[in-house]
Amino acid sequence: MADFTIDETVDITDVVCPMTFVKAKVAMEELEIGQVISVHMNDGEPVQNVPRSFKEEGQQVLKLIDNEDGTYDLIVKKLEE
């Protein structure tokens, strides 16, 4: 069992860059510090860029889950506003 609870989920699988970042970032901004978001996204560019983007903003990337269907779930804990 995971050692975190998902507080919010955002699906950016059919969103075109750079809207992927915008949608994920807006969802993150709505969280309280300490809450956890799951970002459902496609393989490729989102997987390469979204985790890095969250880290650069000071958030904690907890896990990247490969759903083995061409999508991933990125689990991120909000540390900063």
Q: What is the pLDDT of residues 15-66, one digit of tens each?
A: 887 888 889 999 999 999 999 999 999 999 889 999 999 999 999 999 999 9
Whether pLDDT at 5 is above 80:
yes
Whether pLDDT at 1 is above 70:
no
User: What residues form DSSP beta bridges with 8?
Assistant: 37
pLDDT at 34: 97
pLDDT at 18: 80
Global confidence as pTM: 0.91
Query: Would you give the end-to-end CA distance of the chain in angstroms?
Result: 28
DSSP-derived secondary structure for 5-66: ---EEEE-TTPPTTHHHHHHHHHHHTSPTT-EEEEEEETTHHHHHHHHHHHHTT-EEEEEEE
pLDDT at 2: 60
Residue predicted with more confidence, 60 or 4 = 60
